[in-house]
Amino acid sequence: MRSTFLQVAGVFLRRLWVPVAVFAGFNLLCVLVYHRLEGLRWLDAFFWITHPHSMDYTRVHDATKLFAVFVYISVFAFQIWIAERILVTIFRRQGREAWKSMINDISLEKVHDHFIVCGYGQVGRTVVDQLRRLEIPMVLIETNEGLCRELLKDGDLVIQGDAKRHDVLQMAGISRARGICIVIDNDADNLYITVTARSMNSNLKIITRAGQQRYAQAIRSSGADEVIIPEYEGGLMTGRMIERYYPENIKLA
């Protein structure tokens, strides 16, 4: 959370340092002029810049009055300049991404009773689409930065990181989650995440993908509640479809 806040602050500082620096120089110049014209103390001169109405017009020189008008108009112009910079920063792509990243981190701390999805490959995309359709709260963990940006734009809760790491799973709220769906295209990684997730939350419902049959039993023994082999499931579904074209065989069976 702290790193995201610093990122947002950095975006604004890069956009605002020029008008802020110029405004600081302008204030210094005004203090020097007021000091020379009226012999004011530095603090009183600075106070006149921000509160020109505190000036007693019956006791100051005409040059001071004219300069005060100039200061008033200039301060208003600086306010417009800084406001324009802030609005541009918020609505340009970099600013929007920074704000969404900060909102994402805040929401991650509040989400509960959700499902964690590890991996946004072909299977992961389908899982995410189904969870969106069912309006089930979820947190996606993905290593690809471009995909994370895409998901942030869609308003999904996402973490860019390696799901094998304890701190990443903790950030995803594994202690508050109802379940985790591990669908990375690597059986060894899926096995490791299954063991880690089970050790971090014994009540978690774990659905894990296996690419090969020989890994399925190992993953199930490691704590997975369900093990899915997409290629195997796809073959079964295809067989059922073909079966419809042979009703006589169904009757014999």
> 216 and 122, same structural domain?
yes
Whole-prediction pTM: 0.61
Residue 174 lies in a domain: yes
Residues 3-27 have a mean pLDDT of 71
pLDDT at 58 over 80: no
Residues 60 and 134 in one domain: no
Query: Does 150 share its domain with 177?
Result: yes
Do residues 65 and 136 share a domain? no
Whether 85 and 55 share a structural domain = yes
Percent of the chain topping pLDDT 70: 86
Asked if the model's pLDDT at residue 7 lies above 80, the reply is: no
Are residues 199 and 116 both part of a single domain?
A: yes
**Structural domain includes residue 231:** yes
Distances in Å between the Cα of 210 and the Cα atoms of 38, 179, 213 are 82, 17, 7
CATH, residue 119: 3.40.50.720
**Can you give the pLDDT at residue 94?**
55
The domain of 236 spans 112-240
Judgement on whether residues 153 and 213 belong to the same structural domain of the protein? yes
Q: Of 59, 94, 129, which residue constitutes the final position of a domain?
A: 94
Q: How many other C-beta atoms lie within 10 A of the C-beta of residue 41?
A: 11
For residues 223 and 137, state if they share a domain.
yes
Which pair of tokens denotes residue 61?
A: 């020189």
Kindly report the backbone phi and psi dihedral angles of residue 10, in degrees, each rounded to the nearest multiple of 5, phi listed first: -65, -40
Verify that 150 and 236 share a domain, yes or no. yes
> Which of 49, 66, 94 is where one domain is finished?
94
Average pLDDT rounded to a whole number, residues 152-176: 90
Number of folded domains in the chain? 2
Q: Do 135 and 236 have their domain in common?
A: yes
8: pLDDT strictly greater than 60: no
How many angstroms separate the CA atoms of 236 and 206, rounded?
23
Residue 1 pLDDT:
46
Least confident of 61-65, 100-104, 124-128: 100-104
- The pLDDT of residue 204: 94
- Range 91-98, long-range pairs (CB < 8 A, 24+ positions): 94/11, 95/11, 95/12, 95/15, 97/149, 97/152, 98/4, 98/7, 98/8, 98/11
